[in-house]
């Protein structure tokens, strides 16, 4: 199965959407429509640029509702389910009797049948307003929502047969079959359906489904769709990311890097528009760690490090992004940071980098200590190297990592016999071992390793560059020149000031390949590739914290307090739903208990209540001001607000000294872990740049 589950869709259940005869008032911040709506989209949708035009006629008479509906369908094709549901909710908001809007909400919840069932029931309730064709869609999704997968496929087949000109019905069937394409006949059927859609609309986002269909094996079958996926829906990061899958499988690493960079930039642009932190985005960390690795493969270690550092620096959240987790920015970025520094032997940079220890992850801790131990011995810092070696030996199953560090320790003492012995046991990547063997005078071993590395990791810059260096050192100049010619187009974007690559400049000159220090070649042209937008136009490479909205309100005594009053100071802003909200008061009291810690850290606290000024005045005194916002305008401007239900939400925001939002949490429940917020605020505020590229600091 290739479906993806958003963390925010892990819901407890779906309350009926129809009004009960005696409605029970939900808890503060909870949706009036049922618990399922609590973690769904709660801010209004906008018509986005970069969304393809989808032709999907419906019965609604509201033209704007139709536009949002078709946008939602396009977003479904990109697996952009959260934004898709937002678009369908906007359509339903514009036309409450729009049955197909609820079909769309159900279809956007293929990863949560409980929610899908509730939406499908609402669609059935309004089915009488729909055309016969639309009723076919509604009946089909009802089968899916009730767990009847085979009947769902049969219903989609009938829908296609009854509406042969409806390419969206064909696309829906293709998706469902692609999810179950486990044999060649099924693959062939999905391919035939996809081609029927593309015959009508060559840039239909069904290219995404074709990529999943052929993403191992037979990757080359999807190359045409890889050229078009991102272009078919430029606003969706996942569409760019998936074409990178095919390029990577085909060892077209420069193309993969461009696709993954486009994915990262599009995500960051979207975050700026909707005011969220990175790990609220589906697959964000996965996309960016892939980008970092792609930069490694193309000889761009500094760009790889930039991406990895951004991931490690991104705002952390106990539900979304922790060092000890598996799918968040920190846990995905830290291994890429260590890997890049070690792979490119950036020893001084490694020693000046702040690389966090994660004791709960033994493999990661071994890799960190191996990097630092090798770096210390390689730069002559033997006492420091011994410290890391001592730590490393305490870890279980660390024999290979210990041998790697001891190899460098022996090299520092010119003990070649011991270095060779330790190298035998170190299990290092072949290209790295090849250079060490060359340093030890073991030329034949170095040649074998370098050739094996270049073959097993074909089209990657570093193994190919190592082969050139080893061949040249072995006096095989003609072969070195031939391999250098292979390297040049692969290294078209390589960073020539990287020590391992700078060593090739004199070799290129001696071989007559280049008379200058720039020996790189040009990327090979692909006649089938389509023109792409300038990569910088898609968005920033790293997350850019947005500027905090304004805030100017009165406290219980009528004193006006503004965010400008705290200019040059970081401020924590709490939005809560009034003194009658018990959970809210738990939050306020929790932060009051930690107020001394925030004050010592130089962080001010301001709370904003939806209570009127008279009620705020009655509240017990707190060690920070509480401001009144009964008209909810400030709640709205900070997006601590449900646009669909016109109600306030809980919100916690960290504003830095420059007025940027560095951390935030909004939703149906208040964030009450004041100690976590304090610790994370201190970490974030130590970062030197608001674009989150971390400056190295001493270990």
Summarize pLDDT for 140-177 with one digit per residue, the tens: 999 999 999 999 999 999 999 999 999 999 999 999 99
CA–CA distance, 600 with 389 (Å, rounded to integer): 37
C-alpha count within 13 angstroms, C-beta hemisphere, residue 19: 4
Residues labelled catalytic: 584
CA–CA distance, 623 with 612 (Å, rounded to integer): 20
CA–CA distance, 494 with 483 (Å, rounded to integer): 16
pLDDT at 5: 32
Count of other CB atoms within 10 angstroms of residue 502: 12
pLDDT at 688: 65
CA–CA distance, 627 with 608 (Å, rounded to integer): 5
pLDDT at 526: 87
Count of other CB atoms within 10 angstroms of residue 276: 18
Phi, psi of 627 (to 5 degrees): -110, 150
CATH fold of 285-496: 1.25.40
Q: Please list, in sequence order, all residues whose beta carbon lies within 8 angstroms of the beta carbon of residue 273, skipping any fewer than 6 positions away.
A: 46
Same fold for the pair 61-163 and 552-686: no
CA–CA distance, 163 with 369 (Å, rounded to integer): 63
In the block, which residue shows the tokens 């720039």?
518
DSSP of 171-228, one letter per residue? HHHHHHHHTT--SHHHHHHHHHHHHHHHHH-TT-TTHHHHHHHHSSS-GGGGHHHHHH
Q: Read off the pLDDT of each residue in 375-397 and give the average, rounded to a whole number.
A: 97
Q: What is the CA radius of gyration of the chain?
A: 29
**43 alpha-carbon distance from chain centroid:** 21
Quickly list H helices, 345-492: 347-352, 362-378, 382-393, 399-412, 416-426, 430-439, 443-456, 461-473, 477-490
CATH architecture designation of domain 61-163? Alpha Horseshoe (1.25)
CA–CA distance, 621 with 77 (Å, rounded to integer): 53
pLDDT at 34: 64
Show me where the domains of the chain are located. 61-163, 285-496, 552-686
Evaluate whether 321 touches 676 at the Cβ level (below 8 Å).
no
CATH fold of 552-686: Glutaredoxin (3.40.30)
Evaluate whether 481 touches 512 at the Cβ level (below 8 Å).
yes
Count of other CB atoms within 10 angstroms of residue 630: 17
pLDDT at 158: 98
C-alpha count within 13 angstroms, C-beta hemisphere, residue 679: 8
Lowest mean pLDDT among 40-44, 133-137, 173-177, 598-602: 40-44
pLDDT at 693: 42
pLDDT in tens, 458-500: 999 999 999 999 999 999 999 999 999 999 999 999 999 999 9
CA–CA distance, 310 with 287 (Å, rounded to integer): 13
Q: What is the DSSP letter of 688?
A: S
Burial class (CB in 10 A: 0-12, 13-18, 19+), 394: exposed
């Amino acid at each position: 199965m290739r479906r993806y589950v958003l963390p925010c869709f892990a819901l407890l259940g779906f309350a009926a959407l129809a009004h009960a005869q005696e409605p029970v008032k939900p808890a503060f911040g909870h949706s009036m429509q049922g618990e399922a709506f609590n973690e769904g989209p709660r801010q209004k949708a906008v018509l986005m640029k970069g969304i393809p035009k989808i032709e999907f006629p419906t019965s609604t008479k509201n033209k704007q509702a139709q536009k949002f509906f078709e946008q939602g369908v396009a977003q479904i094709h990109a697996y952009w389910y959260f934004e898709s549901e937002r678009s369908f909710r906007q359509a339903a908001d514009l036309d409450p009797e729009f049955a197909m809007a609820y079909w769309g909400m159900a279809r956007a919840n293929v990863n949560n049948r409980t929610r899908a069932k509730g939406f499908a029931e609402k669609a059935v309730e309004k089915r009488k307003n729909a055309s016969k064709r639309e009723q076919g869609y509604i009946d089909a999704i009802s089968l899916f929502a009730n767990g009847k997968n085979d009947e769902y496929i049969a219903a989609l087949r009938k829908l296609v047969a009854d509406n042969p000109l409806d390419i969206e019905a064909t696309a829906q069937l293709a998706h469902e079959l692609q999810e179950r394409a486990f044999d060649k006949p099924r693959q062939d059927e999905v391919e035939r359906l996809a081609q029927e859609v593309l015959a009508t609309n060559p840039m239909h986002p069904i290219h995404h489904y074709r990529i999943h269909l052929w993403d191992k094996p037979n990757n080359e079958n999807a190359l045409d769709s890889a050229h078009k996926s991102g272009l078919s829906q430029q606003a969706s990061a996942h569409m760019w990311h998936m074409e990178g899958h095919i390029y990577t499988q085909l060892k077209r690493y420069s193309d993969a890097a461009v696709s993954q960079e486009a994915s990262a930039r599009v995500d960051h642009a979207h975050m700026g528009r909707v005011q969220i932190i990175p790990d609220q985005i589906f697959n964000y960390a996965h996309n960016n760690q892939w980008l970092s690795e792609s930069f490694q493969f193309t000889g761009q270690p500094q760009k790889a490090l930039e991406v990895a550092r951004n991931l490690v620096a991104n705002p952390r959240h106990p539900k979304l992004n922790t060092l000890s987790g598996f799918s968040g920015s920190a846990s995905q970025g830290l291994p890429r940071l260590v890997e890049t520094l070690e792979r490119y032997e950036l020893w001084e940079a490694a020693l000046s980098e702040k690389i966090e220890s994660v004791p709960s992850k033994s493999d990661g801790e071994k890799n960190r200590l191996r990097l630092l131990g090798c770096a210390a011995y390689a730069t002559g810092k033997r006492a420091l190297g011994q410290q890391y070696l001592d730590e490393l030996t305490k870890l279980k199953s660390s024999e290979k990592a210990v041998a790697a560090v001891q190899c460098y320790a022996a090299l520092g003492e010119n003990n070649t016999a011991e270095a060779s012995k330790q190298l035998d046991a170190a299990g290092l990547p072949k290209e790295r071992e090849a250079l060490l063997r060359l340093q030890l005078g073991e030329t034949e071993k170095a040649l074998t390793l370098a050739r094996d590395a270049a073959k097993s990791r074909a089209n990657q810059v570093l193994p190919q560059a190592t082969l050139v260096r080893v061949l040249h050192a072995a006096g095989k100049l003609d072969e070195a020149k031939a391999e250098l010619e292979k390297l040049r187009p692969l290294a078209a974007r390589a960073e020539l000031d990287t020590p391992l690559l700078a060593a090739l400049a004199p070799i290129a000159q001696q071989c007559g390949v280049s008379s200058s220090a720039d020996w790189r070649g040009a990327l090979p042209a692909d006649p089938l590739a389509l023109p792409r937008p300038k990569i910088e136009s898609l968005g920033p490479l790293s997350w850019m914290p947005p500027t905090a909205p304004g805030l100017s309100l009165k406290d219980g005594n009528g004193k006006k307090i503004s965010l400008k009053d705290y200019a040059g100071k970081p401020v924590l802003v709490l939005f809560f739903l009034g003194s009658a909200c018990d959970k809210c008061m738990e939050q306020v009291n929790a932060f009051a208990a930690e107020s001394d810690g925030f004050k010592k850290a130089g962080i001010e606290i301001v709370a904003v209540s939806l209570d009127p000024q008279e009620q705020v005045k009655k509240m017990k005194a707190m060690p920070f001001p509480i401001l009144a916002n009964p008209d909810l305008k400030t709640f709205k401007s900070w997006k601590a607000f449900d646009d669909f239900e016109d109600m306030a939400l809980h919100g916690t925001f960290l504003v830095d000294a420059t007025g940027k939002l560095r951390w935030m949490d909004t939703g149906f429940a208040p964030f009450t872990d004041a100690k976590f917020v304090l610790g994370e605020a201190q970490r974030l505020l130590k970062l030197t740049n608001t674009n989150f590229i971390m400056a190295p600091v001493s270990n």
